[in-house]
Chain A
């Protein structure tokens, strides 16, 4: 059974991937626009550092590492799970009822319903920034650095994946208020792109602990640099991105299950 399920997923995923590249011009425009999104986000960093030498205690290359980690992980999570936030459409049009009838988990079906390859454009921008900035930061590419980097990349992708699932689950209750969850999804990646030392009060609480955005990029970069970190955010937390991801997924799956149970059908 497990093998046939896996084969089914492979077939579905393969068809999704092929369907996206079938319309070449449209795919190229989408890809270009996604590269543009990454470039435009990076332009903010560029403009900021044309006016200031440090931001939140980081210099331009260190800030570039934070930007790169946040963007690569968010874009990968968006590629895999981003469309879960289309759930209100699936509920309104009644397609969710069809998914519920099939003998596969709804979340798994939604996950494979659209793997947006165009997001690779934004991944590419992040990788380029990472590769260009790294030598300038003076961080040795040793086993310790690689371990931190791997933890941040895998953990960060998982953190944002969990955030997308939470955002999706909340929409079982928030149907008409779907834009509110942009606060934690797009707000999360925006927050993760900058040194968390900039945030204070409720904002720090929201994007360091409630949505663990600081764990994705800022804290691992501090650990990479051997910096102590601001008050309340010690740099050793940078090693705990995978732990933050595990906790986030625990919350996300519980919330998702509660959401599916809460769902009563669209009546359409």
Chain B
């Protein structure tokens, strides 16, 4: 098997071994989905609709974002930062595969694995507790699949880039927590970005965060169709290219700084 698909398959298998952890995560995603659905439908309340969402669509938004939370991996992990701190990153640089493409392939494998076991339970809970307002035609699902793959990729590229600040900062816990805080709000994980006041929508639009989660959900729930949908996908592609390029530049600069201690 060519190397990058093999890495993606390895990522898939690696995550499939943590069955109890996956079940625990799915349970937590579902409980938070129920809380979110209650707050979102409570906000729509007697008003009828908020920014184009009625109560059923607001609840559906809550469940679908919870279903995609794990595949997209909204919260930052510190895997690469740890490798930078310990010097293990030197091994990645020495291997005959591109470190960024290898990590991307592995992350796509991880996302592919988490999609069903982490995604189905919140959707099932939603179906039982509030019902789901899903589109009846196939096109939104196809667009949603493309948007999700791109969302996962944009999220990967951003997390990889932020992790590489470890070359300069060494201790990146605060930076990663700050990233997670921003991502939680601006990806649309807590509330639809369309509900934000104008200035906060503008702020979100200036970051790659909405491309990670809000866009896949907008495509999947047919909130964006036709030219709008294409514009969203183009935005995702733009952020993906920019973040991947930024990551490459940062890695090259970091590698020049890297001093591997003997031993």
Instruction: Establish whether residues A203 and B38, one from each chain, have CB atoms under 8 Å apart when the complex forms.
Output: yes
Residues of B within 8 Å of A203, CB to CB, are: 34-35, 38
B-chain residues with CB within 8 Å of residue A177 when the two chains form the complex: 20-21, 23-24
- How many residues on chain B are close to A (CB under 8 Å)? 39
- In the complex, chain B residues whose CB is within 8 Å of the CB of A200: 38
Residue contact A198 to B39, C-beta cutoff 8 Å: yes
Name which of B5-13, B169-177, B220-228 contacts chain A.
B169-177
Structural contact, B24 and A178, CB atoms closer than 8 A: yes
Which residue of B is nearest A182, CB measured?
B28
Is A142 at the interface (CB under 8 A from chain B)?
no
In the assembled complex, the CB of A148 is this many whole angstroms from the nearest CB of chain B, namely 25
Q: What's the nearest-Cβ distance from chain A to residue B19, in Å? A: 8
Q: Tell whether, in the assembled complex, residue B173 and residue A29 are in contact, meaning their CB atoms are under 8 Å apart.
A: yes
Interface residues on A, range: 35 or more
Q: Which of B21, B171, B191, B200 contacts A26 (CB 8 A)?
A: B171
CB contacts (< 8 Å) of A186 on chain B: these are 32
The interface residues of chain B lying within 8 Å CB-to-CB of A182 are 28
Contact partners of B25 in chain A: CB under 8 A: 179-180
- Given the known A-B contacts A47-B196, A52-B47, are A198 and B20 also in contact in the complex, defined by CB atoms under 8 Å? no
Contact between chains at A187 and B191 (CB < 8 Å): no
Is B97 part of the binding interface, using a Cβ–Cβ cutoff of 8 Å? no
Q: Which chain B residue lies CB-closest to A43?
A: B185
Bound-state Cα–Cα, A199 to B40, Å: 11
B246 CB within 8 Å of chain A: no
Residues of A contacting B: mostly: helix
**Given A40-B184, A48-B43: A33 touches B32 (CB 8 Å cut-off):** no
Known: A40-B184, A203-B34. A47 touches B200 (CB 8 A): yes
Q: Mark B33-56, 1 if CB is under 8 A from A, else 0.
A: 011001100111101001100000
- Say yes or no for A137: interface residue by CB 8 A criterion: no
CB-nearest residue of chain A to B178:
A33
Q: A180 vs B24: C-alpha distance in the bound complex, in angstroms?
A: 4
Give every chain B residue within 8 A of A159 (Cβ-Cβ).
none
Q: Which of A25, A51, A175, A202 contacts B50 (CB 8 A)?
A: A51
B178 to chain A: closest CB distance in Å?
Answer: 5
| B173 and A26 contacting across the interface, CB-CB below 8 Å | yes
Q: In the complex, A175→B19 CA distance in Å?
A: 12
Q: How far is the CA of A206 from the CA of B31 in the complex (A)?
A: 10
Residue of B nearest to A178 (CB): B24
User: Chain A residues near B23 (CB, 8 Å)?
Assistant: 177, 180
Whose C-beta in chain B lies nearest to the C-beta of A185?
B28
Contact indicator B171/A40 (Cβ below 8 Å): no
Q: Nearest B residue to A184 by beta-carbon distance?
A: B31
Q: B residues touching A (Cβ–Cβ < 8 Å)?
A: 18-21, 23-25, 27-28, 31-32, 34-35, 38-39, 42-45, 47, 50-51, 129, 171, 173-175, 177-178, 181-182, 184-185, 190-191, 195-197, 200
Residue numbers of A with Cβ under 8 A of B are 23, 25-26, 28-30, 32-34, 36-37, 39-40, 43-44, 47-48, 50-52, 54-56, 174-180, 182-183, 186-187, 190-191, 194-195, 198-203, 206-207
8 A-B pairs within 8 Å (CB atoms) are namely A36-B182, A52-B50, A176-B19, A177-B20, A180-B23, A187-B32, A194-B35, A203-B35
Beyond the given pairs A52-B45, A55-B42, 19 more chain A to chain B contacts, judged by CB atoms under 8 angstroms and listed by A's residue number, are A26-B171, A29-B171, A29-B173, A29-B175, A36-B177, A36-B178, A37-B181, A43-B185, A44-B191, A47-B200, A52-B44, A56-B42, A176-B18, A180-B23, A180-B24, A190-B32, A190-B35, A194-B39, A200-B38
